[in-house]
Amino acid sequence: MDSRDWGAFLLPYEQTVEELKVKFKTMRSELKKLEEYAPIEFVTGRVKKISSILDKAKRLSVPMDQLEQGIEDIAGIRIMCQFVEDIRRVAEYIRARKDLRVIYEKDYITNYKESGYRSFHMIIEYPVQTALGLKNVLAEIQIRTLAMNFWATIEHSLNYKYRESLPDEMRGRLKKAAEAAFVLDNEMSSIREEILLAQKSFEDESSIVNHLLTAIHQLYFYHMVSEAIEAQQRFNELWETRDMEGLKEMHTEVTQKIKAAKKALESGDDNV
């Protein structure tokens, strides 16, 4: 058994995972604001367990003094997308980044594994600033759709249960499930525009409601209690019938009242 201080050994990998998660989540937010649609659905990350590192080192015949170079996925980031075509787009964004270096890629979507596994992998080198100085850490980024991720998660759990020796019958069923997931991804891509329009409509409605309720609350701040109560009642009526046009008009009216109250307050009008 290796006698190294595993806590100290894994610290740079833990820092790498946390920093990359923040960066890719920020990328998602920026793309959402710029284009109203982000190819990144959500981001997760993990550091490989010590037992998994040891198992992989043994399986790949990696000497214990070469773990940092021989095992490339001790730090792992997973990026989920809604649509298959988003995967290539995310990969392009990653290649263009200046804060990491792509070493090589593995396309398991075009060249999927015999098991049915599909995903796009990028092995990167990421410079992390530790207490002892700059350290270049290898990490693996997996980019996949939600359907691919669901299948891969189930397959991983079953492989763990059967110690990588899945019964043939189980392998066959998993392969059929992988094919079904791929069909689902293709079908979702074919109705992509309808899905995106529906999502945008939902987000627009949520935004209107949020802003209007915030504006009604501001009426209380300016001591316009009767107006606030009246506005709340009107909001309830409009929301009951899902009258979004009426809610938009109401938001404009309430906003104008708040602006007038704010202007009066700044001018020193005591009647506000």
CB-based contact 153:174 (threshold 8 Å): no
78 DSSP β-pair partners: 44, 142
User: By C-alpha distance, which of 188, 258, 173, 166 is closest to 218?
Assistant: 258
**Residue of 19, 72, 140, 155 with catalytic role:** 140
How does strand 120-130 pair with strand 133-145?
A: antiparallel
CB-based contact 91:122 (threshold 8 Å): yes
**Cα-Cα-Cα-Cα dihedral sign, residues 261, 266, 271, 272:** positive
CB-based contact 70:57 (threshold 8 Å): yes
Q: Is 140 a catalytic residue?
A: yes
Structure tokens at 23: 């960066």
> Which positions are annotated as active-site residues?
140
